[in-house]
Amino acid sequence: MEALILEPSLYTVKAILILDNDGDRLFAKYYDDTYPSVKEQKAFEKNIFNKTHRTDSEIALLEGLTVVYKSSIDLYFYVIGSSYENEEKCRKASTTGEHGGAVLGCG
Protein backbone atom coordinates (compact mmCIF):
# COMPACT_ATOMS: atom_id res chain seq x y z
CA MET A 1 0.00 0.00 0.00
CA GLU A 2 1.44 3.33 -1.06
CA ALA A 3 1.49 6.14 1.49
CA LEU A 4 -0.24 9.37 0.57
CA ILE A 5 2.22 12.25 0.39
CA LEU A 6 0.71 15.71 0.50
CA GLU A 7 2.40 18.88 -0.61
CA PRO A 8 3.00 21.33 2.25
CA SER A 9 0.41 24.09 2.38
CA LEU A 10 -0.38 27.15 4.42
CA TYR A 11 -4.08 26.27 4.13
CA THR A 12 -4.26 23.78 6.97
CA VAL A 13 -7.49 25.18 8.41
CA LYS A 14 -10.59 24.75 6.26
CA ALA A 15 -12.99 26.60 8.57
CA ILE A 16 -13.38 28.22 11.96
CA LEU A 17 -16.80 28.25 13.61
CA ILE A 18 -18.30 29.66 16.77
CA LEU A 19 -21.77 28.34 17.56
CA ASP A 20 -24.10 29.14 20.44
CA ASN A 21 -25.56 26.51 22.79
CA ASP A 22 -28.40 25.85 20.32
CA GLY A 23 -26.01 25.22 17.44
CA ASP A 24 -26.74 28.49 15.69
CA ARG A 25 -23.95 30.35 13.95
CA LEU A 26 -22.38 33.29 15.74
CA PHE A 27 -19.29 33.35 13.54
CA ALA A 28 -18.13 31.27 10.59
CA LYS A 29 -15.19 31.65 8.27
CA TYR A 30 -14.66 29.07 5.53
CA TYR A 31 -11.29 29.10 3.77
CA ASP A 32 -12.12 26.85 0.83
CA ASP A 33 -15.09 25.70 -1.23
CA THR A 34 -15.86 22.45 0.60
CA TYR A 35 -19.27 23.96 1.45
CA PRO A 36 -19.79 26.70 -1.18
CA SER A 37 -23.30 27.89 -0.29
CA VAL A 38 -24.60 29.30 2.99
CA LYS A 39 -27.29 26.60 3.00
CA GLU A 40 -24.64 23.84 2.83
CA GLN A 41 -22.54 25.58 5.48
CA LYS A 42 -25.44 25.85 7.92
CA ALA A 43 -26.42 22.21 7.33
CA PHE A 44 -22.81 21.18 8.05
CA GLU A 45 -22.78 23.34 11.19
CA LYS A 46 -26.00 21.77 12.50
CA ASN A 47 -24.65 18.29 11.77
CA ILE A 48 -21.36 18.98 13.50
CA PHE A 49 -23.08 20.52 16.53
CA ASN A 50 -25.55 17.63 16.87
CA LYS A 51 -22.70 15.10 16.85
CA THR A 52 -20.36 16.94 19.22
CA HIS A 53 -22.23 19.03 21.78
CA ARG A 54 -22.89 16.16 24.20
CA THR A 55 -19.47 14.54 24.10
CA ASP A 56 -16.43 15.07 26.28
CA SER A 57 -13.85 14.46 23.58
CA GLU A 58 -12.20 17.29 21.69
CA ILE A 59 -11.51 15.66 18.32
CA ALA A 60 -13.86 14.10 15.80
CA LEU A 61 -13.68 12.86 12.23
CA LEU A 62 -16.87 13.91 10.46
CA GLU A 63 -17.67 13.99 6.76
CA GLY A 64 -14.03 13.29 5.92
CA LEU A 65 -12.78 16.25 7.98
CA THR A 66 -10.82 16.55 11.22
CA VAL A 67 -12.86 18.58 13.70
CA VAL A 68 -11.28 19.94 16.86
CA TYR A 69 -13.71 21.60 19.23
CA LYS A 70 -13.98 23.10 22.66
CA SER A 71 -16.91 24.47 24.61
CA SER A 72 -16.78 27.41 26.97
CA ILE A 73 -19.91 28.18 28.98
CA ASP A 74 -22.47 28.59 26.15
CA LEU A 75 -20.12 28.82 23.14
CA TYR A 76 -18.70 26.09 20.96
CA PHE A 77 -15.44 26.74 19.11
CA TYR A 78 -14.65 24.55 16.09
CA VAL A 79 -11.57 24.34 13.91
CA ILE A 80 -11.99 22.18 10.83
CA GLY A 81 -9.10 20.71 8.82
CA SER A 82 -8.72 17.97 6.25
CA SER A 83 -8.74 14.36 7.40
CA TYR A 84 -4.97 14.30 6.82
CA GLU A 85 -4.36 17.30 9.06
CA ASN A 86 -2.48 17.02 12.31
CA GLU A 87 -5.01 17.34 15.15
CA GLU A 88 -2.48 19.15 17.31
CA LYS A 89 -2.24 22.03 14.82
CA CYS A 90 -6.02 22.33 14.80
CA ARG A 91 -6.14 22.11 18.61
CA LYS A 92 -3.67 25.00 18.91
CA ALA A 93 -5.82 27.08 16.58
CA SER A 94 -8.93 26.25 18.62
CA THR A 95 -7.20 27.21 21.88
CA THR A 96 -6.15 30.52 20.35
CA GLY A 97 -9.72 31.11 19.17
CA GLU A 98 -11.14 30.32 22.58
CA HIS A 99 -8.87 32.89 24.24
CA GLY A 100 -9.71 35.37 21.49
CA GLY A 101 -13.41 34.89 22.25
CA ALA A 102 -12.75 35.74 25.90
CA VAL A 103 -10.90 38.89 24.88
CA LEU A 104 -13.83 39.90 22.66
CA GLY A 105 -16.28 39.29 25.49
CA CYS A 106 -17.68 36.15 23.90
CA GLY A 107 -16.47 33.60 26.40
CA distance 11 to 19: 22
DSSP code for 53: T
| Yes or no: domain 15-103 corresponds to CATH 3.30.450.60 | yes
Those residues whose C-beta lies under 8 Å from the C-beta of residue 93, and which sit 6 or more positions away, are 13, 16, 68, 79
Q: What does each of the 107 residues of the chain score in pLDDT, given as a tens digit?
A: 445 555 555 567 889 999 999 999 999 999 888 899 999 999 999 999 999 888 877 888 888 888 888 888 889 999 898 766 555 555 555 555 444 444 334 43
pTM score of the predicted model: 0.72
List the domain boundaries for the chain.
15-103
